[in-house]
Chains A and B, each alone.
Chain A
Amino acid sequence: MPLLAYCLAEARDEISFPQAGVQGMPLRSVRSGNLECLVSDFETSSVAGRAPIKDAALEFNRTLQDLLKQSTIVPFRFPTVLADENELLEFLTEHAAEYEATLARLRGTVQIDIRVEMPDSESTTKPSGTEYLRSREARYDALQEIAAEFRRAGNEWVRQWRDRDTARGLRCSALLGREHVNAFLAAAKQLKLPQGCNARVSGPWPPAEFVKEK
């Protein structure tokens, strides 16, 4: 039967599996060396396999959150469906060294995300090209400054920081030890943002943004 892959973890961790994952299927572990992959059977053709994708994605996240509380995990993108266990073992064998090193590097960490947005100001007159570019530059600088404020607020606990542009602003990811999540959220809560700017802080998430070293 096809498998839905949830995440990779170090085999050294004792993980208590949630009772059920996506489609109510029980979770199990497939091990290869020091690497453990959490999977469940996945119905691809029966009625059970036609659950709305949104619900399945939310169930997938609930399962990951449960596992994240117990261990450092590297998630798979949803939906990663493999034909069978052999296909998964092939992947694990091929990438064992890479992901064992990644999990060791990320051990004990989680990711907090900060989305900073600043809608473009509405103008009644059409700006010139130069004015438009200047306003974009000013907006970009303002977003960067707000992101920097978040980073400074959590500087004591943040091990790594990454940010990238989105259509509406900036998305920042902070890597920190799981024991520092509450302190970081409390510090972020104290920030006063300038008018016209919105920020949303979410997490902890699995540290997916930090899987690749830069």
Chain B
Amino acid sequence: MPETSDNLVIAGNDFTDEASVLDVLDHVLNAGVVIRGSLVISLAGVDLVYVGLDVILTSIETAMRYLHIQPVRAQFSLPNSKKPSD
């Protein structure tokens, strides 16, 4: 478990608690090399979200909102898939 004092948490790379899961999602969704391209993510029961991989995939706040409200399932499609507006 992360080491905690009153207002300082040394989480290290222990990814077991909820806040650490948020750290992880923040990193994998918002950091790293981007290859120019695009894909379509389908959020079941919601709608299609078109994202370009040359822009930030999503803000972490948005991701958290989706991930915590309901178990969202994603379907990935290839770049040549139809865009929602097509």
The answer to whether A203 and B13 have CB atoms under 8 Å apart is: yes
The answer to whether B33 and A195 have CB atoms under 8 Å apart is: no
Q: How many residues of B contact A (CB 8 A)?
A: 43
Residues of chain A contacted by B61 (CB below 8 angstroms): 167
A197 beta carbon closer than 8 Å to chain B: yes
Residues of A at under 8 Å CB distance from B? 2, 5, 7-8, 42, 44-45, 49-54, 56-58, 60-62, 64-65, 74-83, 91, 99, 113, 167, 185, 188-189, 191, 193, 195, 197-206, 208-209, 211
The answer to whether B10 and A65 have CB atoms under 8 Å apart is: no
Residues of chain A contacted by B19 (CB below 8 angstroms): 200
Residues of chain B contacted by A76 (CB below 8 angstroms): 32-35
Would A201 and B8 be within 8 Å (CB), given that A61-B15, A82-B35 are in contact?
A: yes
Given contacts A49-B75, A202-B11, 5 further A-B contacts (CB under 8 A): A44-B78, A51-B74, A58-B25, A76-B32, A188-B10
Would A199 and B7 be within 8 Å (CB), given that A44-B76, A79-B76 are in contact?
A: yes
Interface of A is mostly: mixed
Would A52 and B7 be within 8 Å (CB), given that A61-B27, A77-B29 are in contact?
A: no
**Residue from B8, B29, B32, B57 in contact with A189 in the complex, judged by beta carbons closer than 8 Å:** B8
The answer to whether A78 and B8 have CB atoms under 8 Å apart is: no
The answer to whether A75 and B77 have CB atoms under 8 Å apart is: no
Would A75 and B31 be within 8 Å (CB), given that A50-B74, A195-B7, A197-B7 are in contact?
A: yes
Report how far A212 CA is from B47 CA in the complex, Å: 35
Would A52 and B57 be within 8 Å (CB), given that A8-B33, A57-B28 are in contact?
A: no
Would A58 and B15 be within 8 Å (CB), given that A49-B76, A50-B73 are in contact?
A: yes
Provide the B1-28 mask, 1 if CB < 8 A to any CB of A, else 0: 0010111111111010001110111011
Q: Report the tally of A-B residue pairs with Cβ distances under 8 A.
A: 139
The answer to whether B24 and A185 have CB atoms under 8 Å apart is: no
Report how far A8 CA is from B79 CA in the complex, Å: 22
The answer to whether B7 and A2 have CB atoms under 8 Å apart is: no
Report how far A209 CA is from B31 CA in the complex, Å: 7
Residues of chain A contacted by B71 (CB below 8 angstroms): 52
B48 beta carbon closer than 8 Å to chain A: no
Would A77 and B31 be within 8 Å (CB), given that A54-B25, A202-B23 are in contact?
A: yes
Report how far A60 CA is from B32 CA in the complex, Å: 12
Report how far A83 CA is from B44 CA in the complex, Å: 23
The answer to whether B72 and A52 have CB atoms under 8 Å apart is: yes
Q: Tell me the minimal C-beta distance from B6 to chain A in angstroms.
A: 8
Report how far A83 CA is from B76 CA in the complex, Å: 12
Report how far A82 CA is from B38 CA in the complex, Å: 9
Interface core residue of B32, B34, B44, B76 (most chain A CB under 10 Å): B32
**Residue from A49, A56, A77, A200 in contact with B57 in the complex, judged by beta carbons closer than 8 Å:** A77
Q: Tell me the minimal C-beta distance from B23 to chain A in angstroms.
A: 5
